[in-house]
Chain A
């Protein structure tokens, strides 16, 4: 039985998706491992943001702002730890905000439709990039490009991958 609802009413009527134990941590770890491993062997994998896709998916699905932002924070901090030369907290802040935003939107809109997922992924990818660049500029005083054509192309590519990836992760939802 599908537990998602197309509903734009008050929050208490929105159902929150649940997953089998270990799915969320495993997804997080795998996304980080692949994010580190793939670019070594596949050059275009540099534009891939698997940890961000995991954050977006679970934020949209769980529809709980608190758990969404905490999950985003955890994923971002872990990604910072694995990124040499990056202070811990840069990705953390960006993914925290993405997780919060995704959970808030997921509780109000239909996020199951592939087109919705595609558009939301593009939006959150760009938001994530802007927040990251702003934080880097403000704290590290390093200039970073905000929105360019390659960034748009990367956002589109990640959104296309997200559609299939999100459908794959839907299999691990616990049926209520």
Chain B
């Protein structure tokens, strides 16, 4: 009686024989693309392994590189943030300087157009801590020739007058203060009347008769009667006009020409002499005496 080989061995032999014949067929048969089936099968078996290997290597590489890169990135990020903050501050500073440069340029241009008028440029360095008074401090004092009751202006218009002088500092009472005032007139009718501060943004023009025709938008200029400001400097613009039932005078409100709430650089007039712009051909504004002045002081085109 012959022994029969074990089932496992015979099944293994069966599998081997069948696989061998399948491979034999694969060597002989070509696919639709004229490639031997054995090549097609080999590529199809190997390519997923290759893709898996590439994916694993890529993951490892990106993870490792990302970790190391992230460590450096954090340091770099912190450094960039700090530099960004510095640059933002610097940018704000430069923007401020640019605006200041514009203001100073206007100031310089104003001075250049009024070279016969003595004036001292000054910077506003402080304000009164008391909200009830409108007083500012400037960085020029007696050493620069400033005296009490000298007028203070900007190229936009009247600011106020000097009320106290120190060697290197001066106090300026701003036009908006209740105690402040300036002699003024209406540009069109030349009707004179003082302009006083009310302790609020708007000014009040007093003693204008109800009979006068005053229109909103009309320019108010200095009259020169107060002996502080030269004549025909812009004071402001009429914003409100109404008859006052209790008095024979009108109730007129004036918006200041100068930005009294944003004073940074000012000019102190060392004289009450009229501001007389250059008479050279480049000047193109109308003479101050005969015609109403513009809302802004004349600026010669460069």
Stretch at the interface among B10-18, B83-91, B271-279: B10-18
Number of residue pairs A-B, CB distance < 8 angstroms: 74
CB of A26 within 8 A of chain B? no
Stretch at the interface among A85-93, A116-124, A148-156, A160-168: A85-93
Judge whether B10 and A88 touch: CB under 8 Å.
no
CA distance A105 to B28 in the complex (A): 33
Judge whether B3 and A69 touch: CB under 8 Å.
no
Judge whether B17 and A96 touch: CB under 8 Å.
yes
Judge whether B28 and A73 touch: CB under 8 Å.
no
A12-B1, A12-B3 known; A69 vs B28 contact (CB < 8 Å): no
A 47-75 contacts with B by CB, 8 A: 63-66, 69-70, 73
CB of A139 within 8 A of chain B? yes
CB of B2 within 8 A of chain A? yes
Judge whether A65 and B14 touch: CB under 8 Å.
yes
Q: Among A16, A93, A103, which residue has its beta carbon within 8 angstroms of that of B22?
A: A93
| Chain A CB within 10 Å, residue with most, of B5, B21, B22, B29 | B21
Across the two chains, which residue of chain B brings its CB closest to A69?
B14
Judge whether B21 and A73 touch: CB under 8 Å.
yes
Across the two chains, which residue of chain B brings its CB closest to A135?
B25
Across the two chains, which residue of chain B brings its CB closest to A63?
B4
CB of B7 within 8 A of chain A? yes
CA distance A21 to B174 in the complex (A): 137
Judge whether A100 and B14 touch: CB under 8 Å.
yes
CB of B51 within 8 A of chain A? no
Q: Among B1, B13, B22, which residue has its beta carbon within 8 angstroms of that of A69?
A: B13
Q: Closest Cβ of chain B: how far from A64's Cβ, in Å?
A: 6
Q: Which residues of A contact B37 (CB under 8 A)?
A: 139
| Interface size counted on chain B using CB atoms at 8 A | 22
Judge whether B29 and A140 touch: CB under 8 Å.
yes
Judge whether B28 and A88 touch: CB under 8 Å.
yes
Q: Which residues of B contact A92 (CB under 8 A)?
A: 21, 24
CA distance A11 to B3 in the complex (A): 8
CB of B289 within 8 A of chain A? no
Binary contact readout B25-44 vs A (1 if CB under 8 angstroms, 0 otherwise): 11011001000010000000
CA distance A11 to B4 in the complex (A): 7
CA distance A77 to B276 in the complex (A): 123
CB of B262 within 8 A of chain A? no
Q: Closest Cβ of chain B: how far from A79's Cβ, in Å?
A: 12
Q: Which residues of B contact A88 (CB under 8 A)?
A: 24-25, 28
Q: Among A12, A16, A100, A140, which residue has its beta carbon within 8 angstroms of that of B10?
A: A100
Judge whether A89 and B24 touch: CB under 8 Å.
yes
- Residues in chain B within 8 A of chain A (CB atoms): 1-5, 7, 9-11, 13-14, 17-18, 21-22, 24-26, 28-29, 32, 37
- Residues in chain A within 8 A of chain B (CB atoms): 11-16, 63-66, 69-70, 73, 76-77, 87-90, 92-93, 96-97, 100, 103, 107, 135, 139-141
26 intermolecular pairs with C-beta atoms under 8 Å apart: A12-B4, A15-B1, A16-B4, A63-B4, A64-B2, A64-B5, A64-B10, A65-B7, A65-B13, A66-B9, A66-B10, A69-B13, A73-B17, A73-B21, A77-B21, A87-B24, A87-B29, A88-B25, A89-B21, A92-B21, A93-B21, A96-B18, A97-B18, A103-B10, A139-B26, A139-B37
